[in-house]
Amino acid sequence: MKKTIGFLIFVLLFGAACIRYVPYGDSGRSYPRESPYDRDYGRYDDLDSSYFFDHLQPYGIWVSFRPYGYVWIPGNVGYKWRPYSHGHWAFTDYGWTWVSLERWGWIAYHYGRWGWDRGLGWFWVPDVVWGPAWVAWRWGDAHIGWAPLPPGGDFIPGRGFGRRQWDIPGHYWNFVRGRDFLDRDLDRWILPEERSLTIINQTEFDVNLNVRDRRVVNDGVDVEHVRRLTNRAVEKYSLKEAPRAGEDRQEGRDLVIFKPEIKRNETARPKQVIEQDQAVQRLDDEQRGRIYRRVARDENQALREDHDQERRLMRESQETEINEVRRKADVEKAKVQNSTEKQKVDEQVKSRVAELKKKHEEEKAQMTQRQKAEEEKTKKAPVRKKIDKN
C-alpha cells in the first residue's frame, strides 16, 4: 500500500514538472488562462495604471513621448490600420459601444486616447476612465463616420470635456456607407482615406459623450438615423462585466466586456521604454527584422486584393453619393408645381453632380498615386510591423 501511494505521488510530481505554458502566436486570439496581472494582485479592485503597462507590453512598444509621458504603439497592424477599425458597433445601455476583435482592444478603445505623429504613427495615451468608445461622430444622408478623440483633454465625470473645441484631422476618420454600419467586421467596409475630406464636408459633427446614472454614455449618431440608413432594426444590448481580461463578446442580448475600475498611479512606468528619437529611428529603419514583418510569398497578391477592394468601395461610395443628390432633388421637385421651379431644381442638381464627379476624379487620382507608392514599398522592403518584444 505504501509503495502504491509513493508511486502515485511520484507520477503526479513528474507530470506536473512536464507541463509548460506554450504561448499563442501573434495571429492567435485565445488568452492564456493566467495573465501577468493575476499573479501580482488578488482582486481586480486593486488594479492601477501599472496594469496597462504590463498587459500591453507583449503587443507593442512603450515610448517616452512628450508631453504625454509614456505612450504605446501597437504591433502587427496593417499599413492602412487606424484605431476603431477592426471590430463593430453595438448599441447598449452605455450608448454606442465598440466591440474590438483585437486582443488588447478592451484596454485601448475603452480607456485613454489615440494620437498620431508623423514619426511614430498611431500611439495610445493611457487614462483611467472607462468609456464605451472615445470617439467623435459624423453622419449624413449616405455615410457614417467616427474618429478617435485626440489626447490633451481629460474627461471629468459630471462635467465631461467642458467647452473644448475639437480639431480632428481628416486622416483620423473611419467612414462607411450607412448601410454597412452594423456589419460585424467594419474593417472590410471602411472607405479609402481619399474619400474622407469630401464626406467630412457633407456630414454633421458631434462629440456626444455624456454622464448618466454615474456612467459614461456615448450617444453618438441617432439610432433612428442608423435604422433608416441600414434598413435594419437596431438591437439594444445590456452591458455585463466579464470576470477577467479577454476579448469582448456577445452572449445573446448581453455584451460582455472586462471593464475594471483603474486607479491612477503616477509613479508607475513600463518595464521596457524607449525614447522618442530612438523609436522613430527603429520604426523607420528597414534593416531591423524585429521591427518589420518579413514579406510573405503572397504579400504582393494580398496588397493587390486590398487595392481592388479600395477601388470598389470608392466607386460604390461615389455612386451612392450621386444617387442621394438625385433622390433629394426628386423629392424637392415633387413639392413644387411650377415648371420653372422644377427646371431650377434640375439645373442645381446637374451642377452639383458635375461638381461631385470632378471631386471624385481627384479622389481616384490621389488613391492611385498612394497605391503605386505602397506597391513600390512592398517590393523593396517588408511592411512595417511596429513591434519589438525583445
pLDDT 10s digits, 46-84: 788 899 999 999 999 999 999 999 999 998 887 779 999
Q: Has residue 351 been placed in a domain?
A: yes
Q: Has residue 136 been placed in a domain?
A: no
Report the number of distinct structural domains present in the chain.
1
Q: Has residue 204 been placed in a domain?
A: no
Q: Has residue 268 been placed in a domain?
A: no
Q: Are strands 236-241 and 87-92 parallel, antiparallel or unpaired?
A: parallel
Q: Has residue 305 been placed in a domain?
A: yes
Q: What pLDDT score does 274 carry?
A: 94
Using 50, 70 and 90 to split pLDDT, how confident is the model at 227?
very high
Using 50, 70 and 90 to split pLDDT, how confident is the model at 93?
very high
Distance (Å, whole) CA 47 – CA 264: 9
pLDDT 10s digits, 249-265: 889 999 999 999 999 99
Q: Has residue 330 been placed in a domain?
A: yes
Q: What is the pTM of this model?
A: 0.81
Q: Has residue 59 been placed in a domain?
A: no
Asked if pLDDT for residue 116 goes beyond 70, the answer is: yes
Range of the domain at 311: 299-380
Cβ neighbourhood burial of 82 (10 Å; 0-12, 13-18, 19+) = buried
Q: Which three cell numbers stand for residue 173?
A: 476618420
Q: Has residue 316 been placed in a domain?
A: yes
Kindly state the average pLDDT of the residues 143-157.
Answer: 87
Using 50, 70 and 90 to split pLDDT, how confident is the model at 90?
very high
Distance (Å, whole) CA 68 – CA 52: 15
> What DSSP string describes 330-361?
HHHHHH---HHHHHHHHHHHHHHHHHHHHHHH
pLDDT 10s digits, 166-222: 889 999 999 999 999 999 999 999 999 999 989 999 999 999 898 888 889 999 999
